[in-house]
Amino acid sequence: MEGKTRKRLVVLVALFTAAVTLLLMFAVNGTAQQATGTILGVVKDSSGAVIPGVSVTLMNEETNLTRTVISGENGAFRAPALPVGRYAFRVELAGFQTQTQRGLTLEVGQELVVNPVLQVGVGPQQEVTVSSEAPLINTTTSTLGTVVNERSVSDLPLNGRNYVDLTLLQPGINQQTQTVTGGEATVQGT
């Protein structure tokens, strides 16, 4: 009787392990397909000193999704897994002027760096509105990536409608061709 119970237990453990493994595989695959990005930066004052404990509020202008994060001891903040879209950015701390920045566009997989500089202020009625765009240079990662938007696809004359040709829009990508001469292969291009 003990042998049958032991076999059943082994089978149940194996089935449970297989179920958990499948569940984890689908969970990881599902999160990899999300269209999100990250907004991060370091909050400083006008003298260049970092400011901890600053409330950073990010609002998606299209969906009104709002996320608030607090800057750490080193003044750094990070808001990961934000849906792509246009964001309004608000930074506030007692004793400083509130700073607002609108029109920040977050793309898929992008790490958008925003480094606000707060000015000393007397009260919450003083507010600084910044209307510039975020810098185009990504200093947080060495990966290259470009979002090919709908307009780029419709404006581009695709010979033969080969979607792989869209990769040539990425900076640093060159097309290489191969020619065969006398039984030897030579690669042309850079």
Q: Is 56 exposed, middle or buried (0-12, 13-18, 19+ CB in 10 A)?
A: buried
C-alpha to C-alpha distance for 57 and 181, rounded to whole angstroms? 62
pTM for the model stands at: 0.62
In 3D, which of 140, 37, 32 has the Cα closest to residue 80?
37
Q: Take residue 150 and report the two structure tokens written for it.
A: 């709908």
In 3D, which of 6, 116, 108, 117 has the Cα closest to residue 58?
116
pLDDT at 188: 62
Tens of pLDDT along the chain (190 residues) come to 577 787 888 878 778 787 777 777 776 555 445 689 999 999 999 999 999 999 999 999 999 999 999 999 999 999 999 999 999 999 999 999 999 999 999 988 888 999 999 998 865 555 666 655 555 566 666 666 677 777 777 777 766 667 777 777 777 777 777 666 665 555 565 5
Q: Which helix (H) or strand (E) holds 59?
A: strand 55-60
User: b/e map of 134-156 (b: 16 or more CB within 10 Å)?
Assistant: beeeeeeeeeeeeeeeeeeeeee
* SS3 of the chain: helix, strand, coil, percent, to 5: 25, 35, 40
pLDDT at 126: 56
pLDDT at 128: 61
Name, in order, each residue with C-beta under 8 angstroms of 138's C-beta and a sequence gap of 6 or more: 110, 111, 113
Phi and psi dihedrals of 135, rounded to 5?
-65, 150
